Chain A
Amino acid sequence: MTETLKLTIDRRDGVAVIYTEGYINNQGGEEIARAAYGLLDEGYKQLLLNLTGTKIINSIGISILIEIIEKMLEIEGKLAFCALTPTIEKTFHIMGLAQYAAIFADETTAVSGLRSDP
């Protein structure tokens, strides 16, 4: 029983959206990090993680997301999340992630939020 995470990337005008599908554990977190750092290399400094397809995440996966947040702070970029389950959103709040990465209800609001706060 191995859960693999599927990622899809949508490059938009200045904002790259990473869609996740599946469990975000250590391998899943690493895959997201690889995708995020690749997008930074391409010049995207505003990243949105759309977690519509993720119903469960663990703290190892989240700790890798924290590494991405650290990187975004270094380059003065922005990482945001959208479409979280209530439990994932609650967990991010428990950890204080919302102080460093905005959380939006849906993708439309998130993309316009990122664009209006460059």
Chain B
Amino acid sequence: MIAATPLREVTLVLPMAADMELVASQAAAALASWIGMPSDRVDEVRMAVVEACINAFEHSRAAERKVDIRFLVWGNAEPERLEIRVHDRGVGFAPEAVERPRLEEKIRGERKRGWGLRIIQGLMDQVEIQSGAEGTTVVMSKSR
């Protein structure tokens, strides 16, 4: 049974500015390593965090150009899972309306982008998107 309070909690507030996603990715990598994740899984977390930040930077249309990121380490006596919550105060979107990107269409089409969520879902164990008038939170987690 997993404890109801995290073993560790780290909060970052990032400006929506060029390459700030790398700051989040470094924090994610440090925590993922700390809980004992092997390096390949650490890299997967880093990349997922980069994508979640970029999505917020590019699509949130948040007046306050900041992203809040919470890193939560869960487990009993030993750390077992890293949860990352990337939150923007933007206009929100309907996750169910986002079409799954298909490369054969992207290659021939004008718009090559739109891969962020697909990549996050492919790299993390669990992904949930909470979105509404208060903004969007991408909640993603990975066990060690």
Total count of chain B residues near the partner, CB < 8 A = 30
Q: Is the CB of A91 within 8 A of B122?
A: yes
Q: Is the CB of B103 within 8 A of A100?
A: yes
Task: Indicate whether A62 reaches chain B with its CB closer than 8 angstroms.
Answer: yes
Task: Indicate whether B34 reaches chain A with its CB closer than 8 angstroms.
Answer: no
Would you list which residues of chain A between 64 and 118 have a CB under 8 Å from chain B?
64, 66-67, 69-70, 73, 85-88, 90-91, 94-97, 99-100
Total count of chain A residues near the partner, CB < 8 A = 31
B 93-114 to A, binary, CB cutoff 8 A, 1 in contact else 0: 0000000011110111000110
Would you list which residues of chain B between 58 and 104 have a CB under 8 Å from chain A?
101-104
| 28 contacts across the A-B interface (CB closer than 8 A) | A1-B19, A1-B22, A3-B22, A23-B19, A25-B19, A56-B46, A57-B47, A58-B21, A58-B47, A58-B51, A59-B113, A59-B115, A59-B116, A62-B115, A63-B112, A64-B112, A66-B107, A70-B107, A85-B43, A86-B40, A86-B43, A87-B46, A90-B122, A91-B47, A91-B123, A94-B118, A94-B119, A95-B103
